[in-house]
Structure formats: structure tokens, C-alpha cells
Amino acid sequence: MDIKAIVDCKTLLGEGPLWDVEEQKLYWIDSLGNRIFRADQNGKGVESWPVPANIGSLALRKNGGALLSLADGIYGFDFATGEAELIHRVTHKGDTVRLNDGKVDRRGRFVTGSLETTETAPLGLLYSVDTDLRVSQIDDGITVSNGPCWSPDHSIFYFADSRSKAIWAYDYDIDTGKLSNKRRFVAFGPEDGLPDGATVDAEGCVWSAGVYKSKIHRFSPEGRRLMTIDMPVVCVTSVMFGGPQLDRLYVTSMLRAPVPGIEETGPLAGSLFVIDGLGIRGLPEYRFGG
């Protein structure tokens, strides 16, 4: 296993690595630096675009451009012009709430959640953006929404409320996009960090960044810990398989922790990393269908 920093981008809050199999490019974001990045599999040819507010996640669209979760709503984004256009403004439960992590299911829906920025109150919601751009609420009572992803057959939806120190599993109705039967998938202990960004590999195992403790964890479909990787930064934030064979694990990080009591001291803080030699492949990500 080989871990290396491939882009020293010093993201304030790097998040949302997304490998696009069509372009053979990696996208990621700086949530607090209000920026989208794109590069090749080795971190070369970096391009970036500013966005007009804090960004939680992006989904590439089948017909070009992207769908963005910005602080106050869902936006369409044109990479050619750099313009972001509001599609749906979200009514938050307070002025400390913003949209955060999101992913696309195999039917082309975009599932994205919100977080309470002081990380102390369960004011966040979970939304589903259908392919016709209708937005519906599918869960509530969330403090920090993170790590949405699906089992390979999309019958199970995984989701982390980071401050609950757990990854949750739901039954997922692929026809309707509805959730049911919420249960705890895994609980994180004091040395595991908090569950942050996540992905599922081709074997159905869940990978989660253990933020604030330098960890990446791999769990079996039954919730058994299979592997823990120690990273060279404290604030590791999200993971995604990519590369031509989908066998490279990309990892984002943040420059400094947004909560008191956590100190990032590593010189590579805020970098984009890649881990090679795992011998494990991921699954291709879907594009938004609208």
C-alpha cells in the first residue's frame, strides 16, 4: 500500500471526491473555500472554479454541467461559463444550517443532506432531488449529514450523522427513492474519529473517513471492521475509488478543523491524496439524470 499527496491544494475543507468514468477525471471541492477542482488520475492538469457560497457536494449531469448543493439550495452549474443558477432554495431550520454531502443513485436521483454548522443541534434534513428536479425531504433530525452511499444493488442506503458517531443503514426503494427501516450499521469509538465521507467498493464493503483521528475504515456488509488505514493528516474527510481500473482510493482533507479542540499539525493538511496497492476496486459513480 502506497499513500501519497498528489495535489497540495490546501483546501480549507476538502470534500466530495468524485471520479467520473466518462471523462476519466477526478472532481473534488473546498466546502469553505467555495471552489470546485478537477484533475486527471495523478492530480495533474488541475482546473478550478469558484462558486458563490459554501459548497457541500456536486453531481455531474448526464446532459453536461453539474448539480451543486450550495449553502442555501440546489444549483445548476456550467463549467464553460462558471455560472451557478439557483434551481431550488431550501428552507433551513435555522441560519446556522447549510447543505452538505451528496451522491447520485443508479436511477439518477441526487441525495443530499444538511448540517448545523456549530455541530450541536439536530436541525439538518436529508433530501432527494428527482430527475425532474423536484426536491423532497426523506429524513430529519440530523446534526452533520455525511457519507451517503449505496450497496452495490442499491437496496441499502448508508448515511452518517457524524455527531451521532455512527453510520446508519436504511432499506432503499430504488423505484421511489424512499427510506425505511433505519438501523445502526456501525458505531465509531473514541479512537476511530467521526464518520465523514464514505463510499462502497465492488465487494459491498463500506469505506469511511474517520475525521479528526487520521483514519480510514473499511467495514464488511455486516458491519465488521476489516481494515483501518492511518493517514498522514488528522483531518481526513472523504474517500472515493477512481482511476481507469477503479482501484485507486482518493482521499480529501482539510487545512484546519472547524471545531474547537482539534489541531491539524501535518504539513500536508488540505491536500488531495491517493492510496495505491489496496487490491480492491470501487464502483462507478452515476450522473444526475435531469
Helix, strand, coil percent values for the chain (each to nearest 5): 0, 55, 45
CA atoms within 13 A on the CB side of 78: 7
Residue by residue, DSSP assigns 108-168 as: S-EEEEEEETTS-S--EEEEEE-TTS-EEEEEEEESBEEEEEE-TTSSEEEEEEGGGTEEE
The C-alpha atoms of residue 114 and residue 161 are separated, in whole angstroms, by: 10
**196 assigned binding-site residue:** yes
Among residues 32, 37, 36, the alpha carbon closest in space to that of 259 is found at 32
**15 assigned binding-site residue:** yes
**63 assigned binding-site residue:** no
Cell numbers describing residue 6: 498528489
**98 assigned binding-site residue:** yes
Q: 272: which strand partners?
A: 7
**42 assigned binding-site residue:** no
Whether 196 is a known active-site residue: answer yes
Could you say which of 72, 196, 201, 247 is catalytic?
Answer: 196
Residue numbers annotated as active site: 196
Binding residues for a divalent metal cation, as ranges, are 15, 146, 196
Binding residues, as ranges, are 15, 98, 100, 146, 196
Binding residues for substrate, as ranges, are 98, 100
